Amino acid sequence: MKAFVLERYGKKGALRPADMPTPELRDDEVLVQVHAAGVNLLDAKIRDGEFKLILPYRLPLVLGHDVAGVVVKVGPRVQQFKLGDQVYARADDHRIGTFAEFVPVKEASVALKPQGLTMEEAASIPLVALTAWQALIAKADLKKGQKVFIQAGSGGVGAFAIQLAKHLGATVATTTSTTNVALVKSLGADVVIDYQTQDFEDVLRDYDVVLNSQDGKTLEKSLRVLKRGGKLITISGPPDPEFGKEIRAPGFVKLVMRLLSSGIRRKAKSRGVGFSFLFMRADGSQLREITRLFDAGVIRPVMDRVFPFDSTNEALAYVEAGRAKGKVVIKLK
């Protein structure tokens, strides 16, 4: 099968187009013929070697986490899916590889594609939608009437998270550039801070939840906009000891996580604020809940560009540049 392969870790290194064997299918997996694949900053970070401790992949590695496509083979233990089903998923950790013609995914991580969406639109959803769901619902337990600050509202995670938070009945604040103010307002943002002319710390007070996706300086400032008892959830690090337990990391990796997050955890504790790191996981049951929201018209996909498969490296570079409005997708079929 055709694929884009990472041969060695390195900043901004190019993936190599290659012919690879179709992956072996395990008993609890379906083989998906990839029609479209979402491109995420996570792919660039793995390529750069930033997650070597957390996700020790063996190289060469096919990158890619989001997939929409058709089931072409099922393992003997699979019961929910059959040949020809149109599905979407976030590929499983240690089994990623959606920048290819075929990818195996655990049955438990797959859901039927929302009926009203194209393959490209569906491929734009799983990683960012599951990230927002796991942050706002599973970790924050966001409730109607609460206030949430979602950073980078025009990005992939932000664009979905704003819509989900509004559906839950929260008041939503976000940051964006001048050119994207209208976009985030159309998604439901109540308070829009133009980071080019304003500092969110001067505007926001007594928030219940912050979803942080930016750098360490922004993370620390985020503490100061939260009320006592509020929750700071970061998807951009640093990882905390709880995450080390979740992934059953070796002792020295747990120690590194403890040290990396000690400063922010100490500051959060002194302000009476909860701090947690989220590295989203594949989850088909959550994806089915998300499908219902799309089928009901509650949430819409926000896409920037669709690249042809041959331009996978260009798509990755475009995502890295940080200017995409919503998601970037590569199209195979």
247: pLDDT strictly greater than 90: no
**String of DSSP letters for 69-128:** EEEEEE-TT--S--TT-EEEEEPPTTS---SBSEEEEEGGGEEEPPTTS-HHHHHTSHHH
11: pLDDT strictly greater than 90: no
Tokens representing 37 are 């694949």
305 & 268 share domain: no
265 & 153 share domain: yes
Helix (H) or strand (E) holding 231, with range, is strand 226-234
Please report, for the domain that includes residue 171, its CATH number.
3.40.50.720
Tokens representing 119 are 């393959």
Residue 284 within a domain: no
140 & 252 share domain: yes
132 & 201 share domain: yes
Helix (H, G, I), strand (E, B) or coil at 241: helix
**Residue 36's closest CA among 3, 73, 67?**
67
Cα distances (angstroms) measured from residue 166 to each of 4, 145, 199: 38, 10, 23
109: pLDDT strictly greater than 90: yes
pLDDT (tens digit, 9 = 90+) per residue, 304-320?
999 999 999 999 999 99
- Name 84's Cβ contacts closer than 8 Å, sequence gap at least 6: 70, 71
First-to-last C-alpha distance (Å) of the chain: 14
Tokens representing 298 are 């509650």
Indicate the burial class of 146 (C-beta count within 10 angstroms; 0-12, 13-18, 19 or more): buried
55: pLDDT strictly greater than 90: no
Which residues are bridge partners to 74 per DSSP?
A: 30
Segments forming the whole domain that contains residue 119: 2-125+301-331
Please report, for the domain that includes residue 21, its CATH number.
3.90.180.10
305 & 199 share domain: no
273 & 137 share domain: yes
Residue 170 within a domain: yes
100 & 21 share domain: yes
The structural domain count of the chain equals 2
How many CB atoms are located within 10 Å of the residue 199 CB? 11
**String of DSSP letters for 280-315:** ----HHHHHHHHHHHHTTSS---EEEEEEGGGHHHH
**Residue 89's closest CA among 243, 311, 246, 281?**
281
- Residue 72 half-sphere exposure toward CB, CA atoms < 13 A: 15
108 & 248 share domain: no
pLDDT (tens digit, 9 = 90+) per residue, 258-275?
999 999 999 999 999 999
pTM for this entry: 0.97
Which residues are bridge partners to 191 per DSSP?
A: 173
Output the pLDDT for position 170.
98
**What is the Cα–Cα distance from 46 to 191, expressed in whole angstroms?**
33
**What is the Cα–Cα distance from 327 to 159, expressed in whole angstroms?**
9
Residue 184 within a domain: yes
221 & 140 share domain: yes
Confidence label for 323 from pLDDT (cuts 50, 70 and 90)? confident
Residue 247 within a domain: yes
Output the pLDDT for position 12.
81
Residue 292 within a domain: no
- Alpha helices per DSSP H over 176-229: 181-187, 200-203, 216-223
Q: How many residues does the chain have?
A: 333
**What is the Cα–Cα distance from 99 to 181, expressed in whole angstroms?**
32
Output the pLDDT for position 51.
87
**Residue 329's closest CA among 62, 124, 125?**
124
Output the pLDDT for position 205.
97
Tokens representing 2 are 């055709």
Q: What share of the chain is helix, strand, coil (3-state, %, to 5)?
A: 35, 25, 40
Average pLDDT of the segment spanning 125-133: 98
Residue 290 within a domain: no
